[in-house]
Amino acid sequence: MTTGDDATSGSPEPLGYEDVADGIAPVVSQERRDGVEILTLSGELDLHTVEDIAPALEDVLAGRTGSIVIDLAEVTFADSSALNLLLRTHARAALHLAGPLHSSVQRLFEVTGVTGVFNLHDTKDEAIAAAARARP
């Protein structure tokens, strides 16, 4: 693992995940760029998989010095448990969500009215730039 404020290793470090019998397990990886912690998720985020990614997110929250970006571009489904996790994280940290969002995730955000709550960005690079600017 490469460390340091602006360290990048070329590819994000996988944090591990478990196979989930009921669906597609999320792929979770973490990297740090421009002083911003970046967590990349993919697959389905539901009650079972959120339990798998919550510890990785807790690690990011515990070790952060600035904003957090969660890249949701490869998330194909999210339910209320995923939304709850994102809202709890948003309450604890300067959170930026990166897309583009899958239509089902976008619909969840629209139906629940959280599009005005979250800092949503069209791309991971835009989210990182915004998070870096927001750093104290």
pLDDT of residue 19: 43
3-state secondary structure of 48: helix
Given a contact cutoff of 8 angstroms between Cβ atoms, the answer to whether 71 and 40 are in contact is yes
Taking only the tens place, the pLDDT of each residue in 59-82 is 888 887 778 999 999 999 999 999
Could you state, in order of their start, the residue ranges of all structural domains in the chain? Answer: 18-133
| Average pLDDT of the residues of the chain | 83
| pLDDT classification of 46: cutoffs 50, 70, 90 | very high
What pLDDT does residue 134 have?
85
Q: Which two tokens stand for residue 31?
A: 């990297």
Query: What's the CA gap between 131 and 35, in Å, rounded?
Result: 9
Judged against a pLDDT cut of 90, whether residue 5 lies above it is answered with: no
Instruction: Return the residue matching tokens 């995940």.
Output: 17
CA angle 123, 80, 21 (to 5 degrees): 90
Please tell me the CATH code under which domain 18-133 is placed: 3.30.750.24
pLDDT digits 0-9 by tens, 81-103: 999 999 999 999 999 999 999 99
**Quick one: pLDDT at residue 136?**
64
